[in-house]
Structure 1
Amino acid sequence: MTTPRPDATAAPTLTRRELLRCAAWSGLGMAASLSPLSAFSASPAARPDVIRVGVAQPATGTPPGFAGSSLAIAHARGWLEESFKPTGTRVEWFFFKGAGPAVNEALANRQLDFALQGDLPSIVARSAGLKTRLVLATGVRANIYVGVPPDSPLKTVSDLRGKRVSLFKGTNMHLPALRLLEANGLSDKDLRLLNLDTAGYLAALSTRDIDAAIGAMDILRLRDKGAVRILYSSKNQSPIYTRQSHVLVSDDFAGRYPEATQHLVKAAVEAARWASDESHREEVLRTWARAGTPYDHWKEDFDGEPLRVRLNPNFDPFLVSRPRMRSSRPIASN
């Protein structure tokens, strides 16, 4: 099976100005005022009883929620439920600690209609015959971090050769991690790579059972405790070393309920528009912080970057180019 591989030479390298231009919201045709969301009004025969939305993250906090995307804001505010309420269509949310691979299993078993997940899991699913279509982007260009014990002798990414390094395989962390290794003269086979989820790699770093972890900004928690040193961050680096996510719908649901599909996408785009407004920055970051990652870390991670760069629902040229990268070498997902 042919799956994407990092290819820094083939990937377009976008400047900060180009990223902002890609995030200019062209062609959305939305009004400035987005609240309340418009109600769903399709004929009864075209209305599903329930819409099942999967999220490739665990739900945490009080009340339970997730973070890092405009869909997380829509969930926190109940906007999708409100939009479909007049017709009796329920919106149900399902959260997956196993991230993208677990979401794929639920999609394959027809347990979900929509899903928020990363690029690699959806590509793997499509290559295996799962019929889905991407409907909007969100949570794109999310940074990755490489953490090592504070007294580690490792100084650069190239120093990871032969070391015990954790990576949550099969997720949207996988591709940018491989691109980063390749840019530093390494491949996954040059490392003693361990497949650990977020809780697993944070614990392993704390107990020094691994030499390094390639992960998300959860690593900043350990840094603040003096238990980890940041060896590398993709912040202010090329976007090819960042993580990409999107919302997709099953072909079956889209075919049976085209109006409901269109309406959910419209509501999600309206949520993205609201969440990308810089006047809402504080509210967006604090809403995400309720899901467990401290507000200060969200503020640090987004410092100097407009919200719209990561929350733009358009599939800009950078995102469109991602699936085109191919390799004769498969990427293991477990």
Structure 2
Amino acid sequence: MMRLTVLPALLLAAFLGYFPTAHTEDLKVVRIASVATNVGGKTVYAGSASLVVNGAFPEELRKQGIKVEWVPAAMASVGPVINEGFASGKIDFGIYGDLPPIILNASKPTVQLVAPWGTTSNSYLVVPKNSTAKSIKDLKGKKIALHRGRPWELAFSNLLQSEGLTFKDFKIVNVNPQVGAAALASGTVDGFFSLFDSYILEDRGVGKIIWSTKTAPVDWKLMGGVWARNDFVKQNPEITQAIVTAYLKSVHWVAQDENKETYIREYSNKIYPESVNRREYDQDNVSWRQRWSPLYDVALQEHYRKAVAYAQASGLTRTQADVQQMLNPHFVATALKELKLEGFWTPN
């Protein structure tokens, strides 16, 4: 989101110390963690968080006398950082992908998905520019850089299974995306599996994309969303509802075709050039509107069912997380009704 990258003790202590302690008895602050990076000396949030970090969340909660504190999690370690924040009770919400919360819940039910973010990201297989490989089969026995325990590992597993392959057919190099990209550029590995940062490698003339989830089944795409700590939801259902409703307001706006250009120019991932973001959205088998769907539909349920089973089968968890406990559609259903958006998205 398990064999995650193990943080050195001092670095982990620094992360733990960063999360301020939450007090739910007299709620004055809600703490929300999400992936972020430093761009030009400023903390920039990526993905769905970019829509709401300065907008709907703070405004809705300010009306109730509650302040929102955003907690940035570095891209290279977002899963372990947010999981630790949840486990220690020091954050209330986290916006991140599927595998980390599955791993967290496998040991103890801790969080629940209160608002899915849809199918907002694809996964890509990249090879060196001069490679003759045209498919995953051509890389059998070769080195592939893949960050284990991250959401796109599920897509990689699905790809292997669809071709009758397993992890044992490859030499998996478990490194974060930044290191994986550098390894591909230097020729240290024969393939690299990641997200749309893969287009950067094409732009630099060192790599080429030979496969992506753009043409794969919908439940192969990266899924995640707004996760909430179970204890917080139980103690603060009204605040949870306010946050989900605010989130859906923002998502409804961006999902409208007439707002697509504005989103790409002003809100989409500022870490990469606009041209990279545009290519991620182009020629996808999911429409722009459906890309942002918060519905707990068949595709989402199948995705999590497979993900939970995969986490155990691959050794990422010892036991299976409870899928039904993790997926809580109540808040989205209430928000859709309140906002009169019940027919805006269609189930996949």
**TM score, norm. by length of structure 2:** 0.77
1:289: Cα distance to partner?
A: 4.3
Q: Deviations over 1:2-22 (max 9, x none)?
A: 9xxxxxxxxxxxxxxxxxxxx
Deviation at 1:323, TM superposition (A): 2.4
* Pairwise CA distance, 1:275: 1.2
Q: Distance in 2 between matches of 1:265 and 1:105?
A: 22
* CA drift at 1:141: 5.1
* 1:313-332 Cα distance to aligned partner (Å, 9 max, x none): 22111001122222562343
Partner of 1:316: 297
Matches of residues 179-218 of structure 1 in structure 2 within 5 Å? 179-218=158-197
Cα distance change, pair 331–160 in 1 and its aligned pair in 2 (3 A): farther
The answer as to whether partners of 2:219 and 2:302 remain within 8 angstroms in 1 is: no
Determine the structure 2 residue equivalent to 1:30: none
Gaps of 5+ in 2: 3-23, 318-348
Please state how far the C-alpha of 1:46 moved relative to its aligned partner: 8.0
Name the amino acid aligned to 2:63: P
Query: 2:325 matched to which residue of 1?
Result: none
1:103 and 1:130 mapped to 2: Cα distance? 15
Describe the superposition over 1:262-295 as per-residue Cα deviations: whole angstroms up to 9, x where unpaired.
Answer: 1111111111111111111011112344521221
96, 103, 106: which one aligns with 2:73: 96
The partner residue of 1:245 within 221, 224, 241 is: 224
Secondary structure of residue in 2 paired with 1:189: helix
Q: Is the 8 A contact 2:30 2:66 kept in 1?
A: yes
Specify which structure has the bigger relative contact order, considering alpha-carbon pairs within 8 angstroms and separated by 6 or more residues.
Answer: 1
Which of 127, 141, 146 aligns to 1:167? It is 146
In the TM superposition, what is the alpha-carbon distance from 1:78 to its structure 2 partner? 2.6
Q: Which residue of 1 aligns with 2:56?
A: 79
Superposition RMSD on alpha carbons, in Å? Answer: 2.2
* Structure 1: stretches of 5+ with no match in the other structure: 3-44
| 1:103 to partner: Cα distance | 1.5
Distance in 2, matches of 1:139 and 1:224, equals 28
Q: Distance in 1 between matches of 2:292 and 2:29?
A: 26
Q: Which TM-score applies when normalising by structure 1?
A: 0.80
> Which structure has more helix as a fraction of its residues?
2
Q: Distance in 1 between matches of 2:316 and 2:189?
A: 20
Equivalent residue, structure 2, for 1:61: 39
State how far apart, in whole Å, the 2-side matches of 1:225 and 1:68 are: 24
- Equivalent pairs: percent with the same residue? 27
Distance in structure 2 (CA, Å) of the matches to 1:292 and 1:191: 31
CA–CA separation in structure 2 for the residues paired with 1:145 and 1:82? 37
Letter in 1 for 2:72: F
Counterpart check, 1:330 vs 2:314: yes
